[in-house]
Structure formats: C-alpha cells, structure tokens
Structure 1
Amino acid sequence: MSRQGIRPQPLPPGVKVDFNALKAPAGYVAGMGRGAAGFTTRSDIGPSMPAPDVQQDKKDDAGGDETKFDAFLGNDAGVLGATGVYDEEDREADNVWDNIEDRMEERRKERREAKLKEELEKFRAENPKIQEQFADLKRKLADVPVDQWEAIPDIGDYTVKKQKLDKFTPVPDSLLAGAAARDATATAIDARGAGGLETPMGGATTDLTAIGAGRNTVVQLKLDKISDSVSGQTVVDPKGYLTDLKSVTLKSDAEISDIKKARLLLKSVISTNPRHAPGWIAAARLEEVAGKLQQARELMMKGCEMCPNNEDVWLEAARLQTPENAKALLARGVAALPDSVKLWMQAARLEQSDEAKKRVLLRALERIPQSVRLWKAVVEISEEDDARVLLSRAVECCPQHVELWMALARLETYENARKVLNKARQAVPTSAEVWITASKLEEANGQPAMPDKIVPRGIKSLAANGVVIDREWWLKEAESSEKSQPPMAATCRAIVKEVVGHGVEEEDRKRTWMADAEECMRRGSIETARAIYAHALSVFPGKKSIWRRAAQLEKAHGSPESLDALLRKAVQYCPQAEVLWLMAAKEKWLSGDVAGARSILEEAFVRNPDSEEIWLAAFKVEFESAELDRARLILAKAREHPPASTARVWMKSAMVEREAGDAAAERGLLQEGIRRFPYFWKLHIMLGQLEERLGNTDAARLAYAAGIKRCLDAVPLWVAAARLEEGAGNIAKARALLEQARLKNPKNPQLWLAAVRTEMRAQNTKAAEALMAKALQDCPDSGVLWAETINMAPRPQRKSRSVDALKKCNDDPHVVAAVASLFWHERKVDKARSWFNRAVTLNPDVGDTWAAWWRFEGQHGGAELQEAVLKRCLAAEPRYGERWQRVAKDPALAHQKPEAVLKRVAADLDKPL
C-alpha cells in the first residue's frame, strides 16, 4: 500500500477489475506528485485540444483552497491529495510502517553499539592506559618494607627549565636624577608656605636633622644615667626586659571591643550589687587578661572591702599581689575570717621554710582544731616525734577520722599501737580498716595465729553495728594484704576464709569460688587464690576437680614440698581418683625420687587394683629408669590380671621387648595381642614395622594387609602399607593403596597428604600439584593441606598461597606455622617471631612448631630468646607433629629428654617427610 496513494472503493466479492484497462483521470501525469515534470504530445490532445497548464495547476493546488486541506497531510498534499480520503485504515497502516522502522532502527542500534564496543576494546588492547600497564607493579609495592621506603633518596632539583639570562640595559641619567629627587628626604622646613608667601614668624627654617640628633642625645643621657659608672655594665636586667616584652600581647580590634563591652557589663554588676563577690573576681580577672594588673589589684582591694566575709575574694586578691603583700593581705583575711581553712592553708604555702609553715598551721589549729586537712598538713612537715604528739592531739580533736588513728598507730610501738587501735575501734565502731590494721599489726609482730581471731570478731562486730559486709570489697582487701610490704598472708587467708562464702547461694558455691580463684590468679594474687581453693576443699573435700586446680596452682607458683603435701591430702580424700595418684607419682619421678614414685604407685595399686592407668604409670617409671626387668614383671602381672589386661598393656609389653632387642618375644606378644584384640590397629602396625626392621617385606605386607582388613578406618595403617610399597619400588601399587584408602575413608586430609608426598618423592611434580588441587576441593578447610600447599609452591607464589590459606583457615596452627616459616625465609624477623608465637599459642602440643621456632631464634634472636623458647616448650610438653613423633619414637633414640628431642627435630627440619 502506498503511503500517499488513492484507496479504491471496496468491490463485491468475486468481482475482479482490470486496472490496466481503466482510463486515467483528467490531467493525470505519472510521477507528478513525486516532483516529476509532465509533458504532452499532439497525440494526447489532438488538433484542437490545448495542453493543460501544469504550473498553474500547481499554483492552484498550493493556494488557499479550503476544500483541498487534509488533517494529516495539510494543504501540501500533492496531486492525489484532493481526491484521496485518509481514514483509520490508512492511519493504522502508517503506524505499522512506523513500528517496523523503529524495530529496524533498534536492531541497527544494537549492532552499531556492539561494533563500537568491539572497536573500543580492540583500541584499548592495542593502546592500554599507563595505569593498566603498571597495575602488577603497583600490587607489588604493598610488599615493600618500611626501611626500603625510607631508603629512597631525594631526587633533588633536576628541573630542565631554561635559566633566564640577566640583561643589563643602561638607564638614562635623566631618569636616575628624577628618581633621586623624588625619593629625597627633606632635612629642613622652609618658613615660606607652598605658595612662596612669608609666614608671620619670619624667615626662619626648622632643621629636622638637628631635632633627631637632639632626641638621640636625650635618650643617651637617660641611658647613661641608669648605667653603672664604675663597672660599665648596665643595671637593666636583660632577661626581665625580654620577659616583659614577651608578656606584651597585641590585641585585635575585635578583642579590644569585647574587653570594653565586658568591662562595662562587669562595672554595672559591681555597681548595682557591690556585695556580689563573683562580680569583683570576674572584673579583676578581666583586667588581668587585658594586661592591666594594677587595675586588677585595685579592684580586688575594693572587693575585699565590700565583701570581707567571702574567702574567695581574699584568695583572689592574694593571688594578684606580690608574696610579701599577699602575706599581709591574708593576715587581714584570716582576721576577718578566722575559721577559713583555705585562707590559713594559703598563708602557710606562702611561707618559705617548714618552721614558718608549721607556725602558721599551728595558729590555724588553735582556731580550727577540728580540721583534718590542717592536721594532715602540719603532720607531713613535722618530725616523727612531733608528728606522734600532734597525732595524739589530732585523734582527740577529730575522733571520727580513721586516717588519723591509722597514722598514729603506724608511728607508735607495738604495745602503744594496740592501745591506739582499741581506742579507734571504740571511737569508730563502723570502720573495717581498724580491724584489718589490727590483724596486720599482730601478724607483723610475730603473731600469725591472731588474724584468724581478729578478722572473725571484726566482721561480727561490724555486722552488729549495722555495717553491710561487702564481699567484693573484703576480697580486694585480702589481695591488698597479700601485696603489701611485707606480705600479710595470714591476714589474707583469714579474710578469705570469713567472707568468700558470704552472700553466695549454696548451689553456686563451687562455680563462684572457682571463678574467683581464676580471677585472682589472672591478677597475680596467688595467695588469695590459694586461700580460696583451701576453703573450697574444706567444703568439698571429695571434688577431684578442685584438687587438680589447686595442684596446678602449687605446681606453677608453689614449692615441691607444698605440692607433695597437697597431693598427699588429695589422694587421701579422693582415693579412687586415678589422675591424682598419677600426678603425685609423676611429680616425685620428675624430682628424681624414683623410690617415692614407686611407693605412691604401690599405694595406688592397693586402692585401685583394676586401674589400667596406674599399671601403665608403674611400667613407665621403671621403663624410663631403664629397669627393663622390673617393667617386664609389672606388665606380666598386668596381663595376668583380667581387668588390667588391655590392648595398651600388650602394646607396652611389645615395646619392652623391642627395647631389649628380643624380636621373637616381641613378635609373639604382638601376635597374641592381635589375637585378643584384633581391632586395635597399633598392634598391627607395630608388627608390620617389626618385620620391616628385620627385612621381611612380604611378612610386613601381610601384617599391614591383615590390619587394614580389620581396621579400614586406621589411616596410619594405609599410609604405612603405601610407604612399604614405595620403598620396595612399587610406586603404582602405593598409589593404588592410597586411592583405595581414600575411597574407604573419604574427605581425609592425611590420605591426600600422603598421596601428594608420594608423588613429590617420585619427582612427579605435575601429578602432585594435580592431586593437591583435588585434595583442596575435597577438604577445603584442612590446615595440613594448605600448609603443604604453601611449602610446595615456588617462592614467588608462596605469598599468594598464604593469603588463600589464611582466608580458608585463619586459626589453624599448621597454616600459621607455615606463614611464620615464610617470613623467616624472607628475613622478616619480627613478623616471623610473632607468627611463631601465635602458632604455639593456638596448639602448644605440636612439637614441630616449637623446633622451628627454636631454630629460628638460634639464627636471629640470640641465646636468651632461644632459651626462653626452650623453657616454654618444656613446660608445654609437646607430643604431636610428624617430625617430633618420628624422632621421639625412634628405637635408636629411646629415653631421650624433651630438650634432646627438640634439638634433633630442629636439625631434621630440612629433611623431607
């Protein structure tokens, strides 16, 4: 459909019209509506038919014929506009065409934008920004240490600007003469005016130079007058002069205006209410700020006259005066206000010597004997004998002030101090300090039993006088008694004994007391914590947890004798507590008393005949003492005693035979133990290790296979079997065993780690990296795998691997130790030390970390830091770690002390696992 064509009228259905046979309309010219110029021939019009005037038709169409106006096309509708009809169907057709054009434009827009984006990306790839070119280098700047940043030298001045050349152009003499005449200074004033007329004074002139010289002469005469004619030195104090100059402050117009406003305001205040002391003080301070000290003094003198009964006015006036004038002023003040302690104290401060101050204070005490402040001040500047006399008078004048009684008791002898405290107790029956001081006095004079009598009596007396017993306050006093010089342990224990249970519910006593003891230990109050544990044990003697905490306290802060006595009491009250017997025996053994340890264990046998732990402890004492026969005998009895005949007993029996070198007996014990305890995997692995040591590879393979068949979840058995095959050269079989183990034990990081290390030992780095990637997918939170990933990575990639590891498991000790080793190799000593400390804090049982830290301090920290690490390691008693267990369980290194094991592990850190 044409957008401007004439739509024919609809025809009945079935009727067809031959448009080519129709006659063209009159005056029709093909293409005329699109701008074509029509033409006619003679055959068109015939001999007597004139040709139509096309230009005239156009003018008519473009004219003002209202019948040819169209609502859509307007008047300019072309030749077909006059006869065509534009209806709703035409509008709908136009809308369809517009939508099609919009859709095509949108498609072309998407293609155009995509092509533009592609060209832009191509351009940016070919011409990258400077910021993008240096992005990798900027990331590396974060790793530059501070010392390297500070070592960057200054670039200096390397400007390449052209230096301007100084060009000299001669100046004309006329210009120089004119400038000199313009800048000349007149040295005389002509008597004639500017108009040349004579002045009434006559023709005299004034010489300015002579006037200046005269002034200089006058100033010089004044300076000579105040100078010392004998020594030739000036009597003007240069330092004071400079100080006065510094005191001169330049004020702006705004400040001056504010001062004037404030002065007017305060003048109104003191005028309307002259008895208002703060107004006089404010006015004087305003003048002081304005630099008018004399006016400030005058104002305060008037204030003293108007407000003689206000001590603040006298104090402010004395502050503004010189010391001598201030003394006189304060004398007037104390005469007007004889009961003002502040005025007397200020008068005493103005005195230079202690004797003069003492005289003033004594005069004040004559007037105000009940002032504690005055008594304290005069006692502080008095000798001991005078202070004793003064305090005797002070407690008479101020009997309710406990501090004066305490000070007098400290100055008196033992007998007199007791009398003083008795008087203080009668004068102030509600004071707890008097009773605590009395208890300390008795303890300090060799009466350790008296605090147990004084403190209970004191608490009872205070309660009778209506004093509320504050448990927290009394416990703090107990800690204060412990930390005093000398320490008052008896008083501390007596206080704790009396108040620790005060106000505590019966069901909360144990929990509350344990929390109190832990808090005291955290604050370093060991004796207070010990007293709390002692009281708790007196109430709960059968609680082994309290005995254990008390024993740990004695082990950390007490003596071996006190620890032994405590454990002796503990096993008497808790004879069935195996852990207490074992602690007592271990402490005896660690102190070198093997006989004492044996006797304790013998007594433990009587109390606990069926205890496996006690049997094994007795075996350990003999085994570590190299008494193999006695150890063998103990284990033989244990094997014959059914309740104590456990798998561990059989395992220890095999260890004794291994130590003795009897392979046949060891094999027999292991085989019998496996028959009795087929699911105890340690017996299987010990049998396989025995066969490996003897060179029986097939027998070891069978032992491991039997153990794996019964103990599918025993990861060490799978790893040992794989290592056996690897040692025999069967790498493929070792891989198969570890893969089968992972199928039986999914998501086990130790099996993945063993597989990775197998490939690393076989020099298959690519396979190891692939396995590690799968392992991290299977166990994303495994610290041992992330630590191995850091160690496997090339040096440039270790830092990024460390960041990934810390994101996954930030508090894993293996990852933290790996990061510490990374800092160690990068020579970042402080960071490495901090991370090693964090690793051993997270898990102090890992011996490998202690060994690495000890070796690190040996290289970078010195002997003292290395010794400190050794002490912490021995106190932690580590037991785990792949290298630590490999060294500690080596039969050739049996019975080695932890210190020797630590040093051996540190020496083996460079060897592969």
Structure 2
Amino acid sequence: MSDITGVIQQQKKKKPWLGQAAPPGYVPGLGRGATGFTTRSDIGPARDVSDPTDDRHAPPGLRTVGDQLKASRKTEDEEEDLNDANYDEFTGYAGNLFSSGPYEKDDEEADAVYESVDRKMDERRKQYRERREREELERFREERPKIQQMFSDLKRKLSVISEDDWSNIPAVGDARNKRQRNPQLEKITPVPDSLFTRGLAQSATVNTLDARQQQYGGINTPFPSGLNTPFPGTATPGWSTPAGELDMRKIGQARNTLMDMRLSQVSDSVSGQTVVDPKGYLTDLHSMLPQYGGDVADIKKARLLLKSVRETNPKHPPAWIASARLEEVTGKLQVARNIIMKGTEMCPKSEDVWLEAARLQPSDVSKAVCASAIVQLPLSVKIWIRAASLETDDKAKKRVYRKVKIFPPTALENVPNSVRLWKVAVELEDTDDARIMLSRAVECCPHSTELWLALAKLESYQNARKVLNKAREHIPTDRHIWITAAKLEEAHDNHKMVNKIIERSITSLKANMVDINREQWIKDAEDTEKSGSIVTCQSIVRNVIGIGVEEEDRKHTWMNDAESSISHGAYECARAMYAHALNLLPSKKSIWLRAAYLEKNHGTRDSLETLLQKAVAHCPKAEVLWLMGAKSKWMANDISAARSILALAFQANPNSEDIWLAAVKLESENNEHDRARKLLAKARANACTARVMMKSIKLEWCLNLLDDARSLLDEATNKYPDFAKLWMMKGQIFEQVGEIQSAREAYTAGLGKCPRAIPLWILLSKLEQKKGTLTKARAVLEKARLKNPNCPELWLASIRLEWKSDIKNIASSLMARALQECPSSGLLWSEAIFIEARPQRKTKSVDALKKCEHDSHVLLAVARLFWSERKLTKAREWFLRTVKIDQDFGDAWAFFYRFELAHGNEEKQNEVLKRCVNAEPRHGQLWQSVSKDIANWKLKTMELLPIVSAKVPVVF
C-alpha cells in the first residue's frame, strides 16, 4: 500500500513537459548565451522529406526567422534558372517586372482584357486543333492498331457460332511447363472430419426403437433430422430404412391426412355439406386480383387526401373525379360508381362529373345518368353527344339529335348554334334530309364555313352559287369560300369566271384586312390540283406568286416554289409558276431549261416541243435548247424535222461545236455516212476543235477507212498534242492492225504529252500484258502510280494484273497498300470484297459500307454478295438502291438485268430494261468496254444492255 502511494505522489510531482520532444528551433541554454554544438549521435539517420525542419543547429547569424528568410531569398536569386526555355520576351527569365508594385484596378482590367483575347484566340484555333488531333489519332490507329481492332473480324464470327460449337470448344488446359506443373508442388486441402462423420451417418442403419415410436406404438420409418415426426395415430407398421433416405409415398400420405383434417374443420356437421359458398368464393377471388401495382401506403394516403378535399370543399368537381378514378384503378369499381354519383349530387352543374359518371356506369344505367345530366345541363354539347353514342341504332341516335313527336326536346332544339352537333347529326342523314338539315344549320350557325360548303356541295349549280354568295356575305374573310366558288365554275366549264373570282377574292380579302399568305395560297393550289381543278390551281398561282416578293429575288423565289411543288407531285402548279416566270423573264435560259426538263419528265412530247419552240424564239443562242428540240424529233423518228431544227440552229449559232457534232451524229446513226463525213469536213474547216477531230477520226475508223483515220490522227496529234484521247485512238488502231511496236510508241508519246491521262497508262499496261511481258506491265503501272498518287484506277489495274497472274499474295498486299492510300475509294473496296475468301467477304463488306456508305460500286458489290449467297430478296433491294443512287452507272444496270434474267419474271426484266433506257448510262468498266467497241458503235442502250449483261459473271 505504501508503494502505491509513493508512485502516485511521484506522478503528481512530474512536470508535463518531461519526456516530450523539443519544439522546432529550440536550442538549450540559448537564452543564457550558450551556443549549440552537434555530435554524431545528434545527426542520426537521414531525415524524411515530410519531417519538420530542425533549425536548432543553424549557423551563427541566422538564429531568427527573418535572417533565415533573407538567406533563402538570396539563395533563390543566386540559383535563378537562366535556361533559354525559361526566357520570356516580355518578362525575361521567369521574372515579374511589376511584382513589387501595387496591383491596382487598371492592372486588373488589363489582365482581364488580355485573358479575354487569349480565350478568343483559343476558341478560334480550337476547331483546327481538335481536327488535327483527331487526324493524328486516326493516323496513329491506322499505323498501330489496337489488339481489339486487329481481331475485330474474328470476333464478329462469334455471333454465328451455335450452341454445339460453343460446347465443343476444347478446354484451354495448363500451359505451364513440366516443372511448373509438378503435381508434388500442388497444395492439397485436407477434408474436414465432419464430412466423414456425415458420410458414416448416412450409410448406417438404425435397428432400435425410438422413444417417440414407443409412445405411439408400432415401428415407424425413422425421419431424418429437420423433418417433423408423424402425426399421432398415423403410424404405420414397417421396418427400418437407411437414415437420410426419404419415403415419398409416406410423405404424400401425411400431406393428404393434414388436408383432410383442415377440410373437416371448415365443414358442417351435416355430412357432404360445406360452409364455403363456391360462387361467393370465386367472386371474392375475382375481386382480389391485383389490378394496381403501386404501394398500399400511397393508396391509403391518396384516399385520405382526396377525402379531406371532398369534405373541405364538396362543390369541387375534380376532387370527386379523382376519388372515383383512384378507386377504379385499385379495382373497387362499385365504390368508384358510388363516389361519382355522390359527386353528381354535390356538383349538379359540372359537365365533367356527369361525363365521368356516364363512363363508369353500365350502358343501361349510363343512359339514365345522361338523361339526368341533360335535365341539369341542357346546353352541354358533350353530354348530348355522349347520350347519342350510347345508342346502338342510327334511328335512336337521330331521335337524340333532331325533333320526333314522341321524344322530348332534342339536342339541336336546346343547342341550335353548336356546329359540332349539326355536323354529327348531318352525318347520320341521307342526301335529301342532309340538305334540309344543312339549310337550317347555316341559319343557326351562319359563321361556320364547313356547313356552308357542305350545303353548296349538295345543291344544284344555280343554288350552289346562291349559297356561296350568302356565305361570302356572312363570312367575308374566309378564302376557302372563294376557292370553292372558282372550283364550282370550273366544274361547269365556265373557265372565264375562274380567274375573275380569284382576282376578286384577293381584292375582297385585302379590303377586309386579311393578310395574303403566299405559302397558304400555294398549298391551297396544290390541294386544288389534287382534287382535279387544274384551271383553278393555275389561276391561284398566277395571282399570288408575286405577292410579297422583291424584284431582285423573283427568279430565285419562283424556282424554289416550283421545285417544292414538283417534290409534292403538283406538276400543274409548277407549270403555272414557270409560265408566269417566263412571261416576266423571257430571256432567262435557265428557266426555259427547267420548264423543258419538267415537260420531258412529267409531260408529253407535244408539250415539250411546243415549249422548246417558244424557248429558241426567245433564247436563240442557247444551244442546248436547239439540241433538245432536235433530239425530241429524232426520238419520234421525224428525221427531216430534226434536220430543219439543226439547220435553224446553225443559222443562230454559226460554227458551234455542239451543233456540228449533233448534226453528224444524226446523220451517222441514220446511215447517212457520206453526209456525216461532209459535215465533219466543213466543221474541220470552219470550227476545228479537238473534239471535231476526234469525231472525224472515229467515223473513219468505224467505217474501216484506217488510212484516212491515220492521216487525220497525224494531223490531230500535231495540232492538239495534249488531247489524250487522240493518242489512245492512235494506239488502239495500231493494235487493231497488229503493229504492237507502233502502238507502244504511240502510247509512250502520248504519256510524254499527257502524264495525267490515267486510261493511257492502263492501255499501255494492257498492251504489255497481251505481249506477255508482265514485268514491263508492272513497271508501267508503278511509274503511273508515282506520277499520279492517290489514283484508285491505277491501284486496281495493278491488283488485277497480279490476280490474273495467279500471284494472289502480292495482290492482297497491293490491296492493303491501296486501301491505306485511298481509304474512301468505293472502287477499291468493291474489289477487296471479292478478293477475300468466301467466309471473309461478309466482314469485308461491312467494313466497306462503313467507309463508303453511299458509293455505287460498294452497293453493287453488296448486291452481288447477296446474289452469290442466294438471298434473292435482299439482292434485289440492293440492286434497286444502287441504280437509284447512280443512274449513270452502266455496270449496275447490267448486273441487275442479268439477275432478273436468272431469277425474275418477264415483267421485272422489261421494267429494268425500260428504266435503263430512260437513264441512258454512259459509265462503268464493263459498260464502256462494250459501248466504246468499234463493232458496237451503232448500238443503242436497249441493244447494249443484253450484250453487257451477257458478260457479267454469274458465279462470284
């Protein structure tokens, strides 16, 4: 006890600072003039960066904080970074010129101005910077793709693997080496003893009687742990079974016994009767169906709130409606009906409450509710319509709307000024009764345009005019009455009155302060055209097209209006717009061209020729108008008229290249070769151009006059050396006569003058291929690619050269390089699809569509791919999409026609042929190889299509 007391006293005498660490900067005896010293034990181990600085042993003269700050500043000044990267033109070496001065308001404003300027400049350069970063990222991804991108095509195949394939995938196995797979080094988890004990218990047999079995008597099958003992009195004699095995038969007998006991408890003492009402029981089950899936607490809360609202303000109709709908949603329909009927008593003048009550009640009770509602609200249109809708017979509905002797006052007697009631009532009547009712309706509702127009439609011509005149008197601000009057006059062939009525309508509407909206009137004109009133729609267009349009904007505005009408299918409105524009601007060639194309596409040949005659009279210098007129006559087999038109065109446009060539084509295709040669000779003498020379040479070549063609070629190449087609024709003529060396020299000379002529390079390469010098052919194409980079045609020629030479690996590598240089070329992507093996073509087509979604070559390749897979419906859809996007692509028409020949009927084949003739395609590798052949120089589109389609491969 004394020892404990001594320890307590020592703790009380101990000072609180003893045993604690010295504060930073503390030097013992510094106040008494002592100087600190440091020993090896004081230094100790190296300090951590996060430890507080211990300045107890600072050098003399730096004992205070101020001295230490001065020393640190001096050190920073001495250690100033003088690197060039730290130099600023304005502030020097990362220094601030004005850091010592005060930061005033002017400085703050200047900094704000500089910051706004920097921000503005950064926003201006943001789009360029982001685009550059995005391009660099795409370039980096192309050079170094991710592993995920490299295996994207393989991952796509996983979507088509069946369940059997998944289950047959072999296990990965252990990829470690033998030393790592040493079974002696593997860990073995010991099995707990409880597992062995449980196994012994399950396999053991029980041969003794349980105390519970002795209580009830007999030998029962022992129940496993977790199961209850059998019911008293249900024990059955038996023998022991292995512990843990269940006798399902005995469990079923016990369950049936339990069910018999429960049923006997709810039954009457009379045998065979029960206290459960089957009908009521089923009714209760039906009422217990969970029709509302919300929270019960929310329903109770809403019910209390609505009850409070009803009690606080019983004259508030929305409260009764909301309460009824809440009960309806929760499945208590009868409660909802009771609430809403109580609402009709509290709010007898509320239309919504009565309508809700009629909706909730059965049909027979709903009629009585509507009758009560009509007594309270005889002027409610909605209640009258609801009452009529409850009737199933039209005669009964009529009784609700109109007067019958045995019926009390009707809807129209109580609400005679309701347009809605009149319209519903008239719809139930026949023509004669409807006219009588409409006569009464317009008296009761004189400001309803619909009723006036409906009555005019049912009346005769004279009576309809009177009705419309009365309608204009009552409703002077409605344009539809005037338009209907104009349509009425047109229907009775009184066309002179149509334009007068439209003019008067605009004047009258302006007098009544009605704004004339061009868009509305043009829309009315389009609707009038669709209804068959052509004269009326043209009159509307003529009178409103110039309203609100400035003089300098007339042409642009009217052309846009015409294009809009054409897109809506209103061609007569567009014709009227072009006619009005040409009356005011007859010297505009573009308007005449638009009108001519409209007649060509949606008119007749006579209307086109009539328009073109007017066009060339006002625009005689427009060569295209003359040529369109001559072609129209030529297509109608009126050759003499076409010649006369071209003769007049020569007079208006002397020495015109297009007119000369059109006249030559007309004569040559009609087997007038001598006249064509004379015309070309005159053209070379009067208006010699490179095209005139080319056509002259081609005509001599087609007529097999090769000597004349060669002489003309020598003259043409000397006169026009930079026209590549002349050199191509010269080389092809030499090839035809078998002078390969001369052909090579012609091509080489042409390439020296026209190094950008891609077909010339390809022809020279094909010439070397025919001779068998594949090395020279490769060299030609490689040189061509060097002089013409990013050219997909040259890459395609190189790829096909290697593919035909059966060097497929080089062709694949060239295709990869080509797609890197020309990633958006549909020509290359379409070829890349069929270079791949058949299983990889679908994946390649997906990549091609991502790069070139609307390219006709890619779409054609996809259609061919579906064709090869015998997916005919999809193939036809993609063929249609291809020819719709590019009608000038002849190869697409050839493939489409061959497809229909193989899998379509005669109707579809004729449709493709007709559409191709109308499109008149000119481009496509297969198409040009046939159309530019000298042997086919006279063939037209209808004759060329079967020939080209015959060269289309069926198996890809």
TM-score by length of 1: 0.70
Counterpart residue type for residue 676 of structure 2: A
Superposition deviation, residue 428 in structure 1: 0.4
**Match runs of 1:273-422 below 5 Å:** 273-281=313-321, 303-319=343-359, 323=363, 326-362=366-402, 363-422=410-469
**Match runs of 1:714-793 below 5 Å:** 714-738=757-781, 741-742=784-785, 745=788, 748-762=791-805, 782-793=825-836
For residue 578 of structure 1, the aligned residue among 623, 631, 643 is 623
Superposition deviation, residue 253 in structure 1: 14
Superposition deviation, residue 176 in structure 1: 5.9
Contact 1:759–1:765 (8 Å) recurs in 2: yes
Alignment match, 1:130: none
Counterpart residue type for residue 529 of structure 1: A
Q: What stretches of structure 2 of length at least 5 have no aligned partner?
A: 1-36, 48-146, 169-201, 222-228, 236-263, 403-409
Contact 1:449–1:490 (8 Å) recurs in 2: no
Superposition deviation, residue 339 in structure 1: 2.7
Contact 2:268–2:275 (8 Å) recurs in 1: no
Contact 1:749–1:779 (8 Å) recurs in 2: yes
Alignment match, 1:516: 561
For residue 212 of structure 1, the aligned residue among 248, 265, 268 is 268
Alignment match, 2:674: 629
Deviations 1:196-219 (A, max 9, x none): xxxxxxxxxxxx999826486799
2:889, 2:370 → 1: CA distance?
76
Alignment match, 2:950: 907
Alignment match, 1:31: none
Contact 2:291–2:331 (8 Å) recurs in 1: no
Counterpart residue type for residue 551 of structure 2: E
Deviations 1:402-446 (A, max 9, x none): 111011111111111111001000110011110111112122222
Counterpart residue type for residue 579 of structure 2: A
Alignment match, 1:174: 218
Contact 2:762–2:797 (8 Å) recurs in 1: yes
Alignment match, 1:142: 156
Alignment match, 2:473: 426
Closer, same or farther in 2 for the Cα pair 1:143/1:498, shift >3 Å? Answer: farther
1:294, 1:412 → 2: CA distance?
52
Instruction: State yes or no: 1:496 paired with 2:541.
Output: yes
Contact 1:492–1:528 (8 Å) recurs in 2: yes
Alignment match, 2:635: 590
Contact 1:283–1:296 (8 Å) recurs in 2: yes
Superposition deviation, residue 846 in structure 1: 2.8
Alignment match, 1:887: 930
Contact 2:266–2:274 (8 Å) recurs in 1: no
Contact 2:266–2:275 (8 Å) recurs in 1: no
Closer, same or farther in 2 for the Cα pair 1:538/1:272, shift >3 Å? Answer: same
Alignment match, 1:847: 890
Counterpart residue type for residue 404 of structure 1: L
Instruction: State yes or no: 1:548 paired with 2:604.
Output: no
Deviations 1:367-411 (A, max 9, x none): 322222222222122222111111111111111111110111111
Superposition deviation, residue 468 in structure 1: 1.0
Superposition deviation, residue 135 in structure 1: 12
Alignment match, 2:510: 463
**Match runs of 1:180-191 below 5 Å:** 181-182=232-233
1:254, 1:845 → 2: CA distance?
63
Alignment match, 1:875: 918
Instruction: State yes or no: 1:539 paired with 2:584.
Output: yes
Contact 2:898–2:952 (8 Å) recurs in 1: no
Alignment match, 2:406: none
Contact 1:452–1:494 (8 Å) recurs in 2: yes
Alignment match, 1:5: none
Contact 1:338–1:367 (8 Å) recurs in 2: yes
Identity %: 52
Contact 2:153–2:843 (8 Å) recurs in 1: no
Q: Secondary structure at the match of 1:174?
A: coil
Once the two structures are overlaid, the 10-residue window that deviates more, 377-386 or 268-277, is: 268-277
1:658, 1:213 → 2: CA distance?
121
Q: Secondary structure at the match of 1:896?
A: coil
Superposition deviation, residue 518 in structure 1: 2.1
Deviations 1:54-83 (A, max 9, x none): xxxxxxxxxxxxxxxxxxxxxxxxxxxxxx
Superposition deviation, residue 150 in structure 1: 9.6
Contact 2:267–2:274 (8 Å) recurs in 1: no
Instruction: State yes or no: 1:672 paired with 2:686.
Output: no
1:210, 1:721 → 2: CA distance?
106
For residue 695 of structure 2, the aligned residue among 628, 646, 652 is 652
Once the two structures are overlaid, the 10-residue window that deviates more, 517-526 or 867-876, is: 867-876
For residue 530 of structure 2, the aligned residue among 477, 483, 489 is 483
Closer, same or farther in 2 for the Cα pair 1:726/1:409, shift >3 Å? Answer: same
Q: Secondary structure at the match of 2:441?
A: helix
2:625, 2:231 → 1: CA distance?
111
Once the two structures are overlaid, the 10-residue window that deviates more, 803-812 or 398-407, is: 803-812
For residue 573 of structure 2, the aligned residue among 508, 514, 528 is 528
Superposition deviation, residue 880 in structure 1: 1.8
1:718, 1:403 → 2: CA distance?
74
Closer, same or farther in 2 for the Cα pair 1:150/1:881, shift >3 Å? Answer: farther
Contact 2:321–2:340 (8 Å) recurs in 1: yes
Q: Secondary structure at the match of 1:212?
A: coil
Once the two structures are overlaid, the 10-residue window that deviates more, 839-848 or 647-656, is: 839-848
Instruction: State yes or no: 1:566 paired with 2:580.
Output: no
Superposition deviation, residue 616 in structure 1: 0.6
Alignment match, 2:654: 609
Closer, same or farther in 2 for the Cα pair 1:301/1:592, shift >3 Å? Answer: same
Alignment match, 2:131: none
Deviations 1:165-217 (A, max 9, x none): 99999997625699564579xxxxxxxxxxxxxxxxxxxxxxx9998264867
Superposition deviation, residue 660 in structure 1: 2.3
Once the two structures are overlaid, the 10-residue window that deviates more, 134-143 or 452-461, is: 134-143
Once the two structures are overlaid, the 10-residue window that deviates more, 898-907 or 302-311, is: 302-311
Once the two structures are overlaid, the 10-residue window that deviates more, 901-910 or 452-461, is: 901-910
Superposition deviation, residue 523 in structure 1: 2.6
Superposition deviation, residue 571 in structure 1: 1.7
Larger Cα-atom Rg: 1
Once the two structures are overlaid, the 10-residue window that deviates more, 456-465 or 625-634, is: 625-634
Counterpart residue type for residue 540 of structure 1: L
Q: Secondary structure at the match of 1:610?
A: coil
Q: Secondary structure at the match of 2:218?
A: helix
Superposition deviation, residue 844 in structure 1: 3.4
Contact 1:300–1:317 (8 Å) recurs in 2: yes
Q: Secondary structure at the match of 2:268?
A: helix
Closer, same or farther in 2 for the Cα pair 1:271/1:539, shift >3 Å? Answer: same
2:230, 2:732 → 1: CA distance?
114
Counterpart residue type for residue 439 of structure 2: S
Contact 2:468–2:481 (8 Å) recurs in 1: yes
Superposition deviation, residue 337 in structure 1: 3.3
Q: What stretches of structure 1 of length at least 5 have no aligned partner?
A: 1-85, 97-132, 156-164, 185-207, 224-237
Closer, same or farther in 2 for the Cα pair 1:256/1:892, shift >3 Å? Answer: closer
Deviations 1:658-684 (A, max 9, x none): 232222222233333334333333223
2:936, 2:753 → 1: CA distance?
31
TM-score by length of 2: 0.68
Closer, same or farther in 2 for the Cα pair 1:143/1:441, shift >3 Å? Answer: farther
Closer, same or farther in 2 for the Cα pair 1:216/1:605, shift >3 Å? Answer: same
